[in-house]
Amino acid sequence: MFEKILIANRGEIAVRIIRACKEMGIRTVAIYSAADEEALHAQMADESYCIGGALAKDSYLNMDSIITLAQKTGVEAIHPGYGMLSENVEFARLCEENNIKLIGPTAAVMEKMGQKERARKIAMDCGIRVTPGSKLLTSAKEAVENAEQIGYPVILKARAGGGGKGIRVVRSRDEIREAFTQIKKEAENSFGDNGVFLEKYLEKVKHIEVQILADCKGKVIVLGDRDCSVQRKNQKLIEESPAPVISDELRKRLYQASVTLAGKVGYTTVGTIEYLVKGEDYYFMEMNTRLQVEHSVTEMAYGIDIVEWQIRTAAGIEIPFNREDIPQKKHAIECRICAENSVDFTPSVGKVELLHIPGGVDVRFDSALYQNYEITPFYDSMLGKLIVCADTREGAIRKMKSALSELVLVGVDNNREMHMRFMENREFTIGTYNTGICRGMT
């Protein structure tokens, strides 16, 4: 097992990883930007170092500085969290060249599955359906030509995108040139990779994810599934596990496809395979070769610490259990609490003047917030994740309503009230909702 790990991230996910490491007896090194000196993760780690300026490109995306610090502090591994450098192939290679373990798949596997356009080809080779799409686009002119051939609406995607960034739905030729330019710029700033491709955009479908865990001996197991269909502008807002109203037969097919795909590329550690589902048909969308924001909801539903097992499998520890050893225990729901204006949903900033976190049995709030903490404009707007679980889905909805009503966050505009409305929405409560549910609601 590793003795010392550097966390190449910030905020909620850095805090989550530090907590897991503390429980495992692993020392931690945190990095922080000039804007994050007072951040919780910088205070919690055993060692903390300023890595650069406030902008992500000057700090959390500064690969050379992170590798240099890792060498100086004597860490054996780097945990990239999600976003930032978590799916950056160049960073994965730098780690390997410097004999530092990146907690995730190898650079070769990441290049295949983390780069979305290549993952589509591999899925097709495995007999898994995908939506029509393009290769990497070299110009706006090429984007227009491919969109015309595929047919609108299409969706432009950064191959290294995630967290709702680097993605844009385009409904007409008039929009595509500007969208292409914007996506390339956003992808470069957020992930250090401006590769962009496009796919046919399917509307009013379910967005279903399958969480997998794989070890160095080739064992791949499914930990569970979740429904992530509540989205606004392709940014997930609510996730639940297991996914409601999908048949046992479809679930079995999704699990088998996921195991086949991971086995095909020799995948290791934690990963998520995402599908679009329409009735009993499903289409491979992408694989996230990293930990995801919504891992927490699967942890609550299935009773397994995904972050700890990600670290264990990265260290070469074999998985001692099988899928049948981790049956679903609960139904869990997660609401992403974001700093945003309640009228136009633009990101908001400010100081946390008052904070009360909900409590009770099976209530969890993953966050890096504390009273008097200053929310800056430099990073993602997510403030935390409120997760609950209960024996039934109906019980989980009731518990989430109770937890949301107890959450107090004063000083920063946030989307708590929007989540309260979702918990009362009939389409959501009966489980038949799809990716179009936000229209007219938010």
Query: Residue 442 pLDDT more than 60?
Result: no
Task: From residue 143, give the alpha-carbon distance in Å to each of 154, 373, 393.
Answer: 10, 43, 43
Least trusted range by pLDDT, from 95-104, 109-118, 403-412? 109-118
What local confidence, expressed as pLDDT, does residue 164 receive? Answer: 67
Query: Residue 391 pLDDT more than 60?
Result: yes
What is the token pair recorded at 153?
């609406």
Residue 224's identity, in one-letter code, is G
The dihedrals phi and psi of 51, each to the nearest 5 degrees, come to -105, -10
What local confidence, expressed as pLDDT, does residue 235 receive? Answer: 86
* Residue-wise pLDDT tens digits, 115-159: 788 888 999 999 999 988 888 888 989 999 999 999 999 999 888
The residue whose two tokens read 């393009």 is 134
Give the Cβ contact number of residue 54 at 10 Å: 14
Catalytic residue, from 16, 290, 364, 393: name it.
Answer: 290
The Cα–Cα gap between 5 and 18 comes to 9
Taking the model in full, what pTM does it have? 0.90
Task: From residue 264, give the alpha-carbon distance in Å to each of 126, 200, 267, 269, 314.
Answer: 8, 25, 8, 15, 19
Least trusted range by pLDDT, from 37-41, 299-303, 322-326? 322-326
Query: Residue 72 pLDDT more than 80?
Result: yes
Query: Residue 165 pLDDT more than 70?
Result: yes
* Residue-wise pLDDT tens digits, 308-348: 999 999 999 999 999 999 887 899 999 999 999 877 788 89
When pLDDT is cut at 50, 70 and 90, the band that residue 440 belongs to is low
User: Do residues 340 and 437 touch, judged by C-beta distance below 8 A?
Assistant: no
What is the token pair recorded at 429?
């409560």
User: Do residues 364 and 300 touch, judged by C-beta distance below 8 A?
Assistant: yes
What local confidence, expressed as pLDDT, does residue 163 receive? Answer: 62
What local confidence, expressed as pLDDT, does residue 327 receive? Answer: 80
Give the CA angle between residues 348, 297, 78 to the nearest 5°. Answer: 75
Query: Residue 28 pLDDT more than 90?
Result: yes
Residue 80's identity, in one-letter code, is P
What local confidence, expressed as pLDDT, does residue 15 receive? Answer: 98
- Of all residues in the chain, the percent with pLDDT exceeding 70 is 98
User: Do residues 6 and 46 touch, judged by C-beta distance below 8 A?
Assistant: no
User: Do residues 188 and 194 touch, judged by C-beta distance below 8 A?
Assistant: yes
Query: Residue 219 pLDDT more than 80?
Result: yes
The Cα–Cα gap between 407 and 409 comes to 7
When pLDDT is cut at 50, 70 and 90, the band that residue 162 belongs to is low
Q: Which domains occur in the chain, in start order?
A: 4-103 (3.40.50.20), 132-200 (3.30.1490.20), 206-430 (3.30.470.20)
User: Do residues 206 and 276 touch, judged by C-beta distance below 8 A?
Assistant: yes
Task: From residue 178, give the alpha-carbon distance in Å to each of 41, 64, 140, 193, 347.
Answer: 37, 32, 8, 18, 22
HSE (CB half, 13 Å, CA atoms) of 13? Answer: 24
Q: Is 290 among the residues known to form the active site?
A: yes
The Cα–Cα gap between 321 and 317 comes to 12
* Residue-wise pLDDT tens digits, 168-200: 889 998 889 999 999 988 888 877 788 898 888
- When pLDDT is averaged across residues 70-98 and rounded to a whole number, the result is 96
Query: Residue 367 pLDDT more than 80?
Result: yes
User: Do residues 254 and 225 touch, judged by C-beta distance below 8 A?
Assistant: yes
